[in-house]
Chains A and B, each alone.
Chain A
Amino acid sequence: MDYTDLIALAKSTTHVGALDCANAVGEATNASCGDFCKVWLKIVGGKIEVMQYEATGCVISRAAAAVLAGSVIGPIGLIGPMSGNHIRELLSVPISPLRERCLTTALVALQNALKSYEA
């Protein structure tokens, strides 16, 4: 993937929008960049069946949300330990450590959704 692909991913509308049947919702904000992400999940039997999201902000934060939504279908136990490196691998584009919070805004929103589900 190169930066052009990253931009295309950020503009993707797949998985974008609220999920009516969601049973877990989480949000995260990256104040330094103004990024915002809201995540809706449908969880059945300890597994994420669907992730939808809405994201505003920079290309990296929106691309990270898109790639995450397309890859997290599966056991919820895998989500907690995920870090920015996981998103880096998914995007496979060199991303500066200075953009770490952009990279992880969607992941934090996802992890917050799971926290609210498990609470």
Chain B
Amino acid sequence: MNDIRSQFPALNADVAYLDNASTTQICSASIEAMAAYLRSGRSNIGRGLYPLAEVSMVAYENSRKTVAEFIEADLRTTIFTKSVTEGLNAIAFGVQSILNPGDEILVSPFEHHANLLPWRRIARERGAILRTMPMSSDFMLDIEGTISMMNHRTKIIATTLVSNVLGTVVPVKALVDAAQRTLPLNKGESEGVDKLSFPFVIVDAAQAAPHIPISMKELGADAIVFGSHKCYGPSGIAAMALSNRLASIMEPMIVGGGMVDSISIDRETWREIPARFEGGSPNVEGAIGFAEAVKMCGGTESEGVASLRQSLVTSLRTIPGVTVFDPADAIAIVSFIVEGVHPHDVADLLGQRGICVRAGNHCAQPLIERIALEGGTIRVSLAAYSTEEEIQKFLSALLEVLELLK
């Protein structure tokens, strides 16, 4: 564990940083890679013809390759965005033309606003219907109920892979299989495959990426979006990996420099993907830092996180008045409430004692409303560098804070 922690210069014994579902600390490898690039001279990419521009271009494209390999996605359709929110908005904007009045978009009950509001907006604009998949009483996705909602009007299935509130893992592969089985390919089409004959499955993998191996190939999803700052990398950069069938129908949300093939007075054509979806000067150093950071993710340390999580759940359950939300397959995240105590007061007072946790709605207000929690939850979220000492420090401070507040 000390070996892992030594790779994160911001960690120290005085602070228990347990808000990793929001942002992780950045690893040294990422910092050093970005610093080395910036110190050696930088350039915009895709424009200059001098050697420095080539160095930047190669570094940027190598980073894309690393990030694409990390989730076993197609390099040609792996696109850098500034955030997961931007990626999900870009997808929603990009596919809106396939939606006709009465078409349906299914969203999971666990969605962060980032994977809900873009769909809600395009549903309104296109006269489509947004439907929420059912949740079981133990805070898991009701997969059978969801499958029964799929029909020939279902065009989009948007889901998180891991809930940022509860840690619930959504069975994305089962959703993809069901979508393809329920709404099979129309083999009568002249191209052999009708691109719209079964729903596009869009996956927000922001919470999953640091903790569980993700293979776009195995999941069969049409989009996987995840960000750097939750994966031990810098802020301001994320990736959206698209299936070929999705990429081929998507319109770019951002138009401008770097994504134009040709432009005349009244007509323009776009460059090939991925440049088509990366309008504007890209965050080259961010991409370099992101690529280094993903090497820290999805490794064996995840077992340590699972064990810490279980220890935390067990301890929290012994505290009078505490209700823990613990879906059977949850990972890395524990949400809880305390009877008669507002979550923000707990988080505020814990913060004053050097414990960083999150409280509130976690940008998932519909889920919080669905489980009827006024004021939201207190959320502890773990990372590969989290320790038993931090958990004990948190528990000790929590008891002190609850004594004060009750």
Contact = CB atoms under 8 A, between A and B. Distances in A.
Interface of A: 3-4, 7, 32-34, 56-60, 96, 99, 102
Interface in B333-353: 342, 344-345, 348-349, 351-352
Contacts of A102: 344
Contacts of A96: 348, 351
Interface in B375-406: 375-376, 404-405
Given A32-B361, A33-B375, A34-B376, A99 B404 contact: no
Contacts of A57: 342, 375
A3 to B, nearest CB: 7
Interface of B: 342, 344-345, 348-349, 351-352, 360-361, 374-376, 404-405
A33 B349 contact: no
A33 B404 contact: no
Given A3-B404, A4-B404, A33 B348 contact: no
Contacts of B404: 3-4, 7
Contacts of B348: 60, 96, 99
Residue from A4, A32, A56, A59 having most chain B Cβ neighbours under 10 A = A59
Contacts of B374: 34, 56
Contact of B405 (A7, A33, A34, A56): A7
Contacts of B375: 33-34, 57-58
A32 B362 CA distance: 10
A32 B405 contact: no
Contacts of B360: 32-33
Contact of A60 (B345, B351, B376): B345
Nearest to A58: B342
Contacts of B342: 33-34, 57-59
20 contacts: A3-B349, A32-B360, A33-B342, A33-B360, A34-B374, A34-B375, A56-B374, A57-B342, A57-B375, A58-B342, A58-B344, A58-B345, A58-B375, A59-B342, A59-B345, A59-B405, A60-B344, A60-B348, A99-B348, A102-B344
Nearest to B376: A34
A33 B374 CA distance: 8
Contact of B344 (A4, A7, A56, A99): A99
A32 B361 CA distance: 7
Nearest to A99: B348
Nearest to B368: A34
B123 to A, nearest CB: 22
Residue from A3, A34, A60, A102 having most chain B Cβ neighbours under 10 A = A34
Contacts of A4: 404
A4 B404 CA distance: 7
Nearest to B373: A34
A4 B403 CA distance: 11
Given A7-B404, A34-B342, A58-B375, 15 more contacts: A3-B404, A4-B404, A7-B405, A33-B344, A33-B360, A34-B374, A34-B376, A57-B375, A58-B342, A59-B345, A60-B345, A60-B348, A96-B348, A96-B351, A102-B344
A84 to B, nearest CB: 16
Contacts of A60: 344-345, 348
A58 B360 CA distance: 11
B361 to A, nearest CB: 7
A58 B375 CA distance: 8
Nearest to B375: A34
Residue from A32, A58, A102 having most chain B Cβ neighbours under 10 A = A58
B398 to A, nearest CB: 15
A47 B404 CA distance: 38
A88 B360 CA distance: 22
A3 B342 CA distance: 15
Contacts of B349: 3
Nearest to A33: B344
A96 B345 CA distance: 12
Nearest to B352: A3
A106 to B, nearest CB: 15
B378 to A, nearest CB: 12
B396 to A, nearest CB: 18
A103 to B, nearest CB: 12
A3 B360 CA distance: 20
Contacts of B376: 34
A33 B377 CA distance: 10
Closest 3 CB pairs of A and B: A58-B342, A34-B375, A59-B345
